[in-house]
Amino acid sequence: MLVLQKSVKMVGSLPEVIRVAYAFMLVVLLWMGLWSFGVAGVLALNLPDGGGWWLLLVLAISLFWTGAVICDMVHVIVSGMVFLVLIHGGREAASMPANSLMKVIRYTLTTSFGSICYGSLFTAAIRTLRWEIRGLRSKIGKNEYLLCCVDLMFHLVETLVRFFNKYAYVHIAVYGKGFNRSARDAWELFQSTGVESLVAYDCSGADLLMGTLLGGLITGTCAAIWTHIKWEAKNERILMVGSTAMLMGMVLVGVAMVVVESAVTSMYICYAEDPLLIHRWEWDAEFFSQLSEALHQRLRHRSARGREALTQNRFDVNIQE
């Protein structure tokens, strides 16, 4: 929560980044208007045997991927700006490049666009799967068979995370690398510096995701109620309209949420590369001290768990002998 609070403060100090988010939200609205014509056509056809649901599924996938691409474009733009601000010690610093925002936008829409579209297919799904498996591990208890199965799944997902993670977008924005190489380099940077222990327990992504889901639920519920009152439609039609409106609301709110998430990811990357980048920024020194203390606590906890597991293994070997 500490990094999330500071990220909100940083985003508030960059009004040009917020204006970019508004512009992309307008693009999303225009795309949704065009997309809605297709949905309206599907609803008007009244296809039998669930044909309407299949067409809606195809349209929903297209909306989700387009929304993910737009969100990740905002992610790259905000990450690039935040990284520049942290490196140069403030947006008003003399060393700050001129027209930096326009350069980042142009780079995002040209050189990095292919990497963004590619990464948008996988990052959200893998991140959600990782959260689910982590939550499942904590509920299994002492069932060794289930624990082994879940550990296998967890290691497989961790391997995928190495090549598909949201921190790749910071390296794409700053260094212009391809998506997989950026994701691998970012994750190896975290593991070599120990910052991965902070990232593993970071709840900011979950908090922002809950906000996105809440926005979608409110939109879908309001649309379903309006459909029922206005046309007294059948339950299937109400469900179609409500589900479609929920997805549209999630995409729109997600564009707004990704601005803060981008600042969070950039902050972790900057801290892993050079902690002094955080220390010399315009905040009080207390934030740097709290972040460093949290990192040391996580590393001590991980070291203690490693020693405990090693001791238990030696004890089991002695018993077997």
- Could you read off the pLDDT of 279-294 as tens digits, one per residue? 666 555 677 677 777 7
- For the chain, the structural domain boundaries read 2-122+164-307
In whole angstroms, give the CA distance from residue 175 to residue 169: 10
What mean pLDDT is predicted for residues 176-189? 84
Predicted TM-score (pTM) of this structure: 0.76
In whole angstroms, give the CA distance from residue 48 to residue 44: 12
Per-residue pLDDT band for 213 (boundaries 50, 70, 90) equals: confident
Half-sphere exposure of 197 (CA within 13 A, CB side): 17
2 near 290, Cβ under 8 Å?
yes
227 near 238, Cβ under 8 Å?
yes
67 near 29, Cβ under 8 Å?
no
| Other Cβ atoms within 10 Å of 135 Cβ, number | 9
Q: What percent of the chain has pLDDT over 90?
A: 2
